[in-house]
């Protein structure tokens, strides 16, 4: 049976899987289960899974490790159940997609347009009526003011930073690679506007890098001038970071500078092994510092303490540097704030090394989808500790699959060039035929 059927039921299942990424994990799981059920009905069965055996083996080893360390295994069992839903259902989605899996990425690009529109609608309603409609529509929603007139838009997600992170691949694809498939056209500027209104540092850093790299690569004569301007701009921003007051909560672009400044200062504290001044930082940086301390000081640092044990390590270790009065003392106690800190805690130094090797091994600079996904994985590594939220499993699957193929802007020009050559050959042969035909009648 054809594994790349493009009938409407398959398309519907793919759309459900993609849209689920923009909601909380319970909704995403429900969307995935429905999408796989549609695949099962349409195909008369499921695809053979290649991840079940390795996943079960890893889970058994994790349970043995947790039992040996005398930790509670209940959270690990919960995480195994949750991850298995996302892992096995996303695998079915990818196996049912065309070979290069690019169609799934293009559906994501289209979906981000509607998510961005809803975010802009959210901002407009707040400007007009001072009401954040997402507080009434989305559970566990965080409202962050930037000025008296603006909020950090969240759209269907819980935080502006979450929305900004999940928009990173579309931002890279649309504005660095200029939308080679012409999926959105001028509609892409709605996504740009929404991304800017998330006031996510990742978005602003990526939008600073995109024009700088493009100018540097495309301007041969003035590339050194462009490089110098970029360096001067970076120095200017760096000076703002150094001079920014530490720990003062703020929104908008001022908040971006504040978070970068605090993170820079935190790095200095980590180098000095001083984690006892976290209360001076803003909430986001304070949570990161706390989670890093737990990652460095939890037991069993080589192989970690096991899947789902971050919360137990938080209770065991965090009290050494926290008084409990810090505004971030009880935040991110389950997910560890970032994949870096969570992998470091639960999988140890070995897990961190393996994950970094994974990122480099499957990186493919000749595939614009792969490069776009690389940046969102890098963002998750710094900020985003859940193994399943925001399409984490989807992005890892897509990263692996797209590492095998070449898809670049050059492919488009090669096709156009080939078409032009074919037309020229046909035209030349036609002229010769006419000439020979005329000659035969002389």
Averaging pLDDT over each range in 60-69, 231-240, 382-391, 400-409, which range is the top one?
Answer: 60-69
pLDDT score of 219 = 60
SS3 46: coil
CA quadruple 292, 296, 302, 308: dihedral sign: negative
| pLDDT tens figures, 17-54 | 999 999 989 999 999 999 999 999 988 899 999 999 99
Which stretches within 145-222 are classed as H helix? Answer: 160-166, 168-171, 188-197, 201-218
Is residue 417 a part of any domain in this protein? Answer: yes
120 Cβ partners below 8 Å, 6+ apart? 153, 190, 193, 194, 197
- Residues contacting residue 409 through CB under 8 Å, at least 6 positions apart: 177, 178, 180, 368
> Considering the domain boundaries, does residue 425 fall inside one?
yes
Which residues, 6+ apart, have CB-to-CB distance to 352 below 8 Å? 340, 343, 344
- Any domain includes 310: no
The yes-or-no verdict on residue 400 having pLDDT over 50 is yes
For residue 191, is pLDDT > 70? Answer: yes
Long-range contacts from 124-129, C-beta under 8 angstroms, 24+ separation: 126/150, 126/151
Q: Is 429 a member of any domain?
A: yes
Nearest Cα neighbor of 145 from 9, 154, 302, 137 is 154
Q: Give me the pLDDT at residue 440, please.
A: 38
- Give strand pairing partners of 151: 145
**Structural domain boundaries, residue 420:** 412-437
**Angle of CA points 291, 293, 298, to nearest 5°:** 95
In a domain, 79, yes or no: no
In a domain, 421, yes or no: yes
pLDDT at 164: 93
Query: Does residue 419 sit within a domain?
Result: yes
Report if residue 347 sits inside a domain: no
Higher pLDDT, 142 or 392: 392
Cα–Cα nearest to 382, from 90, 161, 76: 161
Q: What is the pLDDT of residues 157-185, one digit of tens each?
A: 988 889 999 999 999 999 999 999 999 99
Confidence of residue 422 (pLDDT cuts 50, 70, 90): low
Q: Which of 141-145, 243-247, 409-413, 432-436 has the lowest mean pLDDT?
A: 432-436
Confidence band of 373 (pLDDT split at 50, 70, 90) = very high
The pLDDT assigned to 438 comes to 43
Residue 154 has pLDDT above 50, yes or no: yes
Domain count, the chain: 1
């Amino acid at each position: 049976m054809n594994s790349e059927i493009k009938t409407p039921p398959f398309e519907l299942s793919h759309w459900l899987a993609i849209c689920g990424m923009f909601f909380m994990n319970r909704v995403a799981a429900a969307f995935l289960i429905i999408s796989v059920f549609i695949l099962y009905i349409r195909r008369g069965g499921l695809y053979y899974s290649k991840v079940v055996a390795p996943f079960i083996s890893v889970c058994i080893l994790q349970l043995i490790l947790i039992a040996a360390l005398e930790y509670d295994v209940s959270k690990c069992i919960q995480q195994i159940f949750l991850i298995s839903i996302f892992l096995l259902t996303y695998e079915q989605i990818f196996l049912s997609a065309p070979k290069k899996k690019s169609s799934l990425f293009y559906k994501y690009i289209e979906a981000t347009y509607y998510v961005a529109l809803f975010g802009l609608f959210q901002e407009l309603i707040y400007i007009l009526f001072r009401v954040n409609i997402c507080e009434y529509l989305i559970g566990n929603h965080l409202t962050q003011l930037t000025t008296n007139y603006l909020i950090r838009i969240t759209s269907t997600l819980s935080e502006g930073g979450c929305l900004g992170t999940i928009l990173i691949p579309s931002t890279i694809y649309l504005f660095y690679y200029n939308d080679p498939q012409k999926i959105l056209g001028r509609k892409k500027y709605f996504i740009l506007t929404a991304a800017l209104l998330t006031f996510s540092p990742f978005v602003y850093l990526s939008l600073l890098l995109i024009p700088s790299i493009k100018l540097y690569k495309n301007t041969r004569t003035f590339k050194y001038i462009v490089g110098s301007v970029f360096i001067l701009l970076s120095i200017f921003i760096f000076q703002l970071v150094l001079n920014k007051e530490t720990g003062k909560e703020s929104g908008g672009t001022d908040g971006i500078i504040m978070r970068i400044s605090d993170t820079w200062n935190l790095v200095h504290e980590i180098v000095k092994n001083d984690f006892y001044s976290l209360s001076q930082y803003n909430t986001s940086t304070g949570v990161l510092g706390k989670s890093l301390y737990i990652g460095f000081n939890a037991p069993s640092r080589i192989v970690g303490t096991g899947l789902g044990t971050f919360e137990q390590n938080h209770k065991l270790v965090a009290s050494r540097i926290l008084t409990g009065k810090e505004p971030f003392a009880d935040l991110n106690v389950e997910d560890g704030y970032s994949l870096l800190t969570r992998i470091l805690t639960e999988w140890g130094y070995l897990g961190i090394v393996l994950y970094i090797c994974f990122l480099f091994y499957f990186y493919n600079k000749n595939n614009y989808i792969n490069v776009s996904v690389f940046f969102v994985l890098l963002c998750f590594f710094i900020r985003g500790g859940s193994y399943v939220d925001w399409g984490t499993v989807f992005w890892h699957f897509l990263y692996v699959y797209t590492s095998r193929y070449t898809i670049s802007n050059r492919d488009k020009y090669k096709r156009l060039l080939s078409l032009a050559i074919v037309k020229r050959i046909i035209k030349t042969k036609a002229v010769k035929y006419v000439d020979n035909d005329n000659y035969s009648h002389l």
